[in-house]
Amino acid sequence: MKRRNFIETITTGGGLMLVGAPVVLHSSSYPYRNKGTLIPKEFSADVIIAGGGLGGCAAAIAACRNGLNVIMTEETDWIGGQVSQQGVPLDEHRWIETHGAPASYRDFRNRVRNYYKQNYPLTEEAKNREFLNPGDGSVSRLCHEPRVAVAVLNEMLAPYMSSGKLKILTEHKIKTTEVDGDKVRAIEAENLKNGDSVVLSAPWFVDATECGDLLPLTGTEYITGTEVKSETAELHAPEKGNPENNQAFTMCFAMDYQPGMNNIIDRPEKYDFWSNYVPQMNPPWAGKLLELNYSNPRTLEPKDLGFHPEGKSTGDLLNLWNYRRIINKNNFLQGKYDGDITIVNWPQNDYFPGNIIDVNEDEFKKHVEASKQLSLSLFYWLQTEAPRPDGGLGWPGLRLRGDLMGTLDGLAKYPYIRESRRIKAVFTVLEKHVGAENRKLVAGEEAGKKAAEFYDSVGIGYYHIDLHPSSAGDNYIDFASLPFQIPLGALLPQRMNNLLPANKNIGTTHLTNGCYRLHPVEWSIGEAVGCLIAFSRKKNLPPRAVREKTELLKEFQQWIRKQGLETHWPESV
């Protein structure tokens, strides 16, 4: 990367000060131009965060809260990652209302509820409901619109942007880096709107991208795909590893239903292919992908599903409409909504025919475009061919709600990525640490009732180990886990000293990624990383030293607990 040094940049306690030419820095989220202008091409800060998902936002909050100056880049024009640009309602655990995530994450959730109570025409009953769930979707205790998540996150970050502590560069993608041995010196980001670039330098860097993009760009050692059982001794690991075997990704979309209307879209270009597509899985899939059935994740036996866009009963079958419903019209004053609104993130639009990790940009785009065709084909199938309870076919009143996703095509801004590159970490979380069955095998019946205790815990979380069908033909892998801790060692690359992960790129395996990849855990990882950088800077020590020195580790854990991070589950769980 060629550095641009025509302007001096210095960091002060009050924010980013630009010294040199007489310049004006536009709004922190404005994708500034630098062609033929005096806008500087190089910025510096205490911390550069690549990726504005939940992990990136949490890292920014923690770093700014502790006095550091931050520049955060984001590839799309929305921050929030999986909860916003990818359109995935919160996947959480049963204890989330009271514990099991940092206080700041629960603050985010409370702000989402308050946003609805302050701005939406809720019924009195809904407005007074302590644990309001706007959509009453069965997947989460807080199913809400992606746009609301963006508004709330911007609200939480606004004080830091106003004070100059935080700059956010949306629609910027990292292209190159400058590395000196085991340290990253700078990264270069391209403005995706006009092709301009900016060089960002700092003592600390955070990779909060969805695919772990900084790892190959910086030469940081990492792993992809499935590990071999002989290396990890994991109960569910395969006998043969495959670095190209990654979980499906999904192009989610939002839709509502207008009875009596004809909203049928143009027939998607690849509809014939997808309407006849039979997944080649081991064990076998239930039938065609575009049918109201799938493989039961636990048993892999065929399982029927229901669908009714007015939320009516489908008997003993799960009504997919209600699963990720983000607006239940009954929570709002009569007449404000024609019908409910739901998010489609179903088995039927999981894309697994190709891998997008560690491929070139053209290959990535090819598979993303194919996945968009799959999602549009699913929508068209629902409008025209899906079986109805009355014996007819199709629901022509279904309508894409791209306005809620911030897009013109009706689909999410970015694919929902379930699996990323993963750092080769100082410590790797294995199935024996968190998997219920594997834990009992290695720890015994009594000790195996709890996940492994990590002396260096910097957070907690829970989700069952949930792996969607993979690009190499694995069907679902889904089994019980135990409420777990997040070890500091899993956040530390083995070699690099000033680059830390804050997304799905931490030290897990293909299997344990299945329970460490969800919303509150990603937030917990990001906040722990932001705190770790602030603490390391204060002590003038590399992050590994914090873990290696017993007294320092205890001090750090006590310090983050005072800031609302949880490091241990209550005995009652």
The structural domains of the chain, with segments of one domain joined by +, span 1-104+150-245+420-573, 249-405
The pLDDT value given to residue 532: 98
Question: For the segment 6-34, what is each residue's pLDDT rounded down to a tens digit?
Answer: 223 323 333 332 222 222 222 333 333 44
Task: Over range 378-407, report the average pLDDT.
Answer: 96
Token pair for 353: 């025919």
542-556 pLDDT tens trace: 999 999 999 999 999
Is residue 234 predicted with pLDDT exceeding 50?
Answer: yes
Q: How many CB atoms lie within 10 A of CB 284?
A: 13
Q: Please give the pLDDT value at position 41.
A: 86
Residue with tokens 């509150």: 520
pLDDT exceeds cutoff 70 at 265: yes
390 has a pLDDT exceeding 70: yes
At 56 the three-state DSSP class reads: helix
Query: Residues 501-511: pLDDT tens digits?
Result: 999 999 999 99
CA gap 372, 353 in Å, rounded:
13
Q: What's the pLDDT score for residue 572?
A: 85
Whether the full predicted model's pTM is greater than 0.75, yes or no, is yes
Our CA angle for 57, 62, 63, nearest 5°, is 95
Q: Which overall architecture, per CATH, does domain 1-104+150-245+420-573 show? A: 3-Layer(bba) Sandwich (3.50)
**Residues sharing a CB contact under 8 Å with residue 80, sequence separation 6 or more, in sequence order:** 52, 53, 54, 57, 146, 149, 150, 153
CA distances from 38 to 33, 188, 399 (A): 9, 18, 46
What confidence score (pLDDT) does residue 311 get?
85
Q: Which residue in 204, 58, 93 sits closest to 516, CA to CA?
A: 93
The total of other beta-carbon atoms located within 10 Å of residue 93's CB is 20
Q: How confident is the model at residue 1 (pLDDT cuts 50, 70, 90)?
A: low
DSSP 8-state symbol, 452: P
Higher pLDDT, 27 or 536: 536
The pair of structure tokens assigned to 208 is 């909060």
What's CA 406's distance to the chain center, in Å?
A: 17
Cβ atoms within 10 Å, residue 222: 22
pLDDT recorded at residue 38? 44
Q: Name the nearest CA neighbour of 405 among 345, 337, 338, 339.
A: 345
Q: What is the CA radius of gyration of the chain?
A: 23
The type of residue at 8 is E
User: Mean pLDDT, the chain, as a whole number?
Assistant: 93
**Whether the predicted pLDDT of 461 surpasses 70:** yes
Which amino acid is located at 373 in the chain?
Answer: Q
Confidence of residue 222 (pLDDT cuts 50, 70, 90): very high
Tokens representing residue 316 in the block: 């003993």
pLDDT of residue 573: 87
Which whole number is the average pLDDT over 519-544? 97
- Supply the pLDDT for residue 223: 98
Give the residue-averaged pLDDT of 211-222.
Answer: 98
Q: Could you tell me if 187 and 177 are in contact, meaning their C-beta atoms sit under 8 angstroms apart?
A: yes
365-383 average pLDDT score: 98
How many other C-beta atoms lie within 10 A of the C-beta of residue 410? 20
